[in-house]
């Protein structure tokens, strides 16, 4: 039996916080970019589905895709294509 105290993780330093903030910014930017481009492409998929398939049989699917398009438009609204490049 050991009487050693349990080790605790070291507190975050300023460098660790800035690195974490940088990673968080990159993840948020990636999610925004994905949402932006999804919002741009989903209407084409909806139009193709309306033209090529009897969408009337699956109104819940069409409603879900339209709701997903709205969500992607809201989330991707802040994205600027090519804005992250130097």
pLDDT value, residue 56 = 75
pLDDT value, residue 4 = 63
pLDDT value, residue 34 = 94
DSSP class of residue 53 equals: S
Sign of CA dihedral 50, 32, 73, 86: negative
Give the whole-angstrom CA distance, residue 6 versus residue 63. 54
Give the whole-angstrom CA distance, residue 71 versus residue 74. 5
DSSP class of residue 57 equals: G
CA dihedral 82, 29, 76, 40 (to 10 degrees): 50
End-to-end CA distance of the chain: 59
Per-residue pLDDT of the chain (86 residues; tens, 9 = 90+): 556 666 777 676 767 778 888 899 999 999 999 999 999 999 998 888 888 877 778 888 888 889 999 999 999 998 888 776 54
Full-model pTM: 0.68
pLDDT value, residue 32 = 94
């Amino acid at each position: 039996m050991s009487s050693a105290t349990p080790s605790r993780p070291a507190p975050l330093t300023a460098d660790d916080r800035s690195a974490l903030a940088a990673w968080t910014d990159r993840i948020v930017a990636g999610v925004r970019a994905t949402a932006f481009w999804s919002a741009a492409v989903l209407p084409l998929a909806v139009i193709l589905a309306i033209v090529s398939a009897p969408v009337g049989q699956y109104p819940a699917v069409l409603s879900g895709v339209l709701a997903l398009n709205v969500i992607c438009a809201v989330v991707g609204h802040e994205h600027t294509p090519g804005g992250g490049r130097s």
